[in-house]
Amino acid sequence: MRAVKAQLKKLEAEAYPPLPANTERIQHQASSNTPKHSYSHINMEEATQSAMKEQRKHTQPGVRYIYSDGSMVNLGKAKCSMAFAVVGEQQPVIQGTVKGFASSIKPELMGLIAGIIATPQDQDVCIRLDNQKVVKMFNDIVVNRRRASVRAKLRCDYAVEWAIVARICSERTGSTTVEWVKGHRGDKWNAAADKAAKEAQALVGKEWEVRAEDQDDLRYTAKMAGTTLEIDTRQALKMQTTRRWHQTWRSLKRHKRSIQDYEGTDWLGTLAIIHNNKPVHTFFSSQQDTRLRSHRIKKIHGMLPTMDALHARRPDLYKDDQCRQCHATTEDNEHVWLCPESKEAHDEIWKDGLGRIDFWGEIATKHYNRERKKRRKEGETEPKEIGWVATSVRACKAALRRIIQWPSTEDRNEGYTGDEKW
């Protein structure tokens, strides 16, 4: 019986060989899929790759300090572009452009990767950049990757890129550290990196892109509309929900009927005003919040319960549509804001709003002048001192009316008819 069991066990082992341990399997895949210390983790221009290979042949004694910076222009527009640059005392300038989900982190992260792979494997390197978020994520996701949970690895923005950074750092024999430097504070190398990153926006060529298949830490990545999600999946779904409800709301027939310049309306700003900067996906609600939201929507669409609407709706209760304050003309949605009897109340509202703006402006001005004195003590060029000038209620009201082309009696007295744009 023992001989039969031994024979069966031997046949089973031959038919189903045991899988290697998890760490052994990862090491085997890493050595088989990608040669160590190669550039196949990143897709880039061949000329840049050749220059970096030549640079990696020269190891310097001590720690090599490299400065990296990113640049992003036209955020929120179709022509949004991101670029980065890497400079240093012993580091030739490396520039590149990136694509994907636009944020200030993406170009800074690609600059970090470029600085690491441009350094010899046995060289201790310190990357210095002025983005605190990237430095924190490097320490949390890369340095402490063994202690980081799977949830933390997956839910961070640009999870695949950080997995590539972790693999590149693990392949190096030299140490890799990342430090934060305060931007625009007289550091010549930080200023050089900032200038080179802005100049990189004009580059035309192959954009830098990581190869997700070269990392074996994250087994799954989420996709939406055929594109890999570079941000947290939950956050992407929340943004999708917000945009879907926003699109449904703005597509209502009554909105198109009541809003004349439908295509020229800033709908994102409108949604933020209506919901008091509370995203739709928070599901926050209260009686006060509901009343304020309803009031804002009625003001935007000209649906306030004015006397002309109430008289048309219930002529048995409202005998006429005259304004109950001035008793001079019909009360409609425009007369609510132009009634001479409510002028004092409107002025008080304007004064309260402008008072808050003046308060914030004075605080910002004092903070700027205080920083100005600090820079002067540090030997920098003394910037000009600024002062906050409070504006008048009448000037702000006139400017707002000119923006929306809505002349008032005050403007007519000055000869303004509303035909020209402010």
Domains and CATH numbers, the chain: 44-234 (3.30.420.10), 266-376 (no CATH)
Is 6 or 167 the better-scoring residue by pLDDT?
167
Q: How many C-alpha atoms does 283 have within 13 Å on its Cβ side? A: 1
- In angstroms, the CA 396 to CA 390 distance is 11
Give the confidence band of 37 by pLDDT, cuts at 50, 70, 90: very low
Q: Closest by alpha carbon to 280, among 251, 249, 252?
A: 249
- In angstroms, the CA 126 to CA 162 distance is 17
The alpha carbon dihedral of 296, 298, 299, 304 has a sign of: negative
- In angstroms, the CA 403 to CA 3 distance is 95
| Two structure tokens written together for 255 | 């909105």
* 173 within 8 A of 122, measured Cβ to Cβ: yes
Is 107 or 387 the better-scoring residue by pLDDT?
107
* Residue labelled with tokens 């009625």: 298
| Two structure tokens written together for 267 | 């709908």
H or E element: which one contains 417? none
- What's the Cα-to-Cα distance from 7 to each of 12, 15, 373, rounded to whole Å? 9, 12, 87
- In angstroms, the CA 53 to CA 117 distance is 9
DSSP H helices, 99-143, are: 105-117, 132-137
- In angstroms, the CA 46 to CA 211 distance is 16
Residues with Cβ < 8 Å from 242, sequence gap 6 or more? 279, 280, 281
| Two structure tokens written together for 270 | 């409108």
The alpha carbon dihedral of 316, 322, 325, 331 has a sign of: positive
> Helix or strand or coil: residue 305?
coil
Q: What percent of the chain has pLDDT over 70?
A: 77
R_g of the chain computed on alpha carbons: 31
Amino acid 4: pLDDT:
55
Amino acid 67: pLDDT:
93
148-164 average pLDDT score: 85
Least confident of 66-70, 129-133, 190-194, 228-232: 228-232
Least confident of 1-10, 83-92, 359-368: 1-10
Amino acid 20: pLDDT:
38
- In angstroms, the CA 95 to CA 85 distance is 4
* 87 within 8 A of 189, measured Cβ to Cβ: yes
Amino acid 9: pLDDT:
60
Bridging pattern class, strands 42-43 and 63-73: unpaired
pLDDT at 152 over 60: yes
pTM over 0.75: no
Cβ count within 10 A of residue 405:
12
